[in-house]
Structure 1
Amino acid sequence: MEPESLYLLLQLPKEADLPVELPQGEKKIYLLPTSRKDPRFEELQKVLMEWINAKLQLEHIVVRSLEEDMFDGLILHHLFQKLAGIKLEVEEIALTTVSQRRKLKAVLEAANHSLQVEEQSVKWSVDTIFKKDLLATLHLLVALAKRFQPDLSLPTNVQVEVISMESTKSGLKSEKSVEQLTECSTDQDQVPQDIFDELFKLAPEKVSAVKEAIVTFVNQKMEHLGLSVQNLETQFADGVILLLLIGQLGGFFLHLKEFYLTPSSPAEMLHNVTLALELLKDEGLLNYPISPEDIVNKDTKSTLRVLYSLFCKHKLKASTNKMPHGSPN
């Protein structure tokens, strides 16, 4: 073994499970202790855990360690279903190693399909996740967050130093490198702050008043259809009232073949909400990235953003139309 390889081996964490004989052609990656203790690396794990716990709060699932809690596919199963708004046909409880790996494989196949990642570029696998590979787990969770909740504030430019160990014909080969977990921050990459970011952060006590004003506006527009909204989060989650509201304000009705009037599954709800957001984008009303999954999952801030865009356009328009000629601006 070359002196450089020996030096790199000495830097490996003491708890690392070093193979006595690494099969030829097999490669294993180890995180350096300095990277594990990096504040930005620790912050990334904290943000992702808080995000997962918030998403799965109603299911009474709590993640305390990404390294220890994600490997068997159980939490990934619930998280992906929640994010994608779909039902996976996999066993709910998997107790044996074989059944856990089988479940994890099914969940990852569904996630990879949704993420539209090419096989050669995937930085996680059934084997690495099941072996509690923290680096692979973080790559997967960051990809899911970027796909389903682009406004999640992940720490930027998180890098880790790793040592790659590979068994070759000439012996054990090691290489030190830097792996990028999150993107570098640029003004173009940053999700713009909007009025609701400020509202929830600086004046959370006023959120109820804003919700009440928007619900009043919605009910005024929907009374002709005999519909009434009492709960802003739950009643817009399936997209039905949202589509009817957009049609009512725009002076048109969508053909019943274009959406599900009585959605019976998360997938049908997701279809409705996605269609609604596309209609709003076509009208140039959405200036903030909104994930349809967040609406389906009853995210208050996302639901308010959508309804506020309609409120601003049509409330202002109504006020302008009522203004007498010659009135000052």
Structure 2
Amino acid sequence: MTTYRIALNFEDGVTRIIDCDEDEKVTEAAFRQRINIPMDCRDGVCGTCKCHAEKGEYELEFYLDEAMTEDEAAEGYVLTCQMMPRSDCVVSVPASSAVCKTGAEKVGAEVIAVERLSETSFGLQLKLDKPIPFLAGQYVNIDVPGSGRHRSYSFSSAPGATEASFLIRNLPGGLMSGWLSNTAQPGARVEVTGPMGAFYLRPVTRPQLWLAGGTGMAPFLSMLEQVAAEGTDQPITLYYAVTRAADLVEMDRVMALADRIGTVNVITILAAEEDAHDRKGFVTDHLSDSDLNGGDVDVYLCGPPPMVEAVRQHLSHAGVTPASFHYEKFNPTEAPAEAAA
């Protein structure tokens, strides 16, 4: 019997990924794994379990029009009590994880390596006690040992592996930065909680415009890993904007993944006046009409708040509304400040 992976994205940002057999309804599989998707009838009559399927193939058994209209079904809405998967799926649940009696999973991990990639960034590699299923682009909370506090970072590694990697901004006086600089050693133990976040790669069905600022490159590395594994014939334009040339970290890996995919154009931009480079300034100085493709483009943006706001204003002034626009801001405390889709 075939078993599929169903990612349940709750409205509070928590994601839980469950196994669902091909002859099993999604609500039944969720309940078996101690997750209570809201429902009343189980018969396709009440509409209480209505969710939105963002990705994947599935079949719907009987349901009444009063529970879900044909137009809603055409837009990808499903009644999970009647949904039987025919592939891995991503389903948005219009309820919090707490309401569904679940939450983000906490997993122990061991530090494999801490690498000083530049004056402004670290690379952190962890060996997880067990894999954390996540969607490429999502983040986790990593506890800072001895502090009772955590910081949030996007995976830069491919989904599903027991080894996870992260790009971490080096903030002077920062809690995590201090630990990585002065204390962290291979073998140290941390706890990781997640996955979370609405910033993740959707099906690649049209041209892509990916905009990374600084360590905001992390989720795009994970996305590149996924696209390299799955393949695509769609063009992907990846802008990587940093302050100085030394901040262009992980470029060998970026270019290797771009070569594997074959449709990726990588464009780097420096802001610092003193560094020589082909492109200087900010992302918005270099975005072209062809990048926006008349709006027939999926835009993904991850970077500091000023960059996110500048891009949003640029799109507004250009009079272009992308087919989809997904962004995530990172504030100075190293935690995601906002994610939107």
Q: Is TM-score (shorter-chain normalized) higher than 0.5?
A: no
Higher relative contact order (CA 8 A, sep 6+): 1
Higher helix share: 1
TM-score (norm 2): 0.22
Q: Which has the higher strand share?
A: 2
TM-score in terms of structure 1 length: 0.23
Give 1 or 2 for the bigger CA radius of gyration: 1
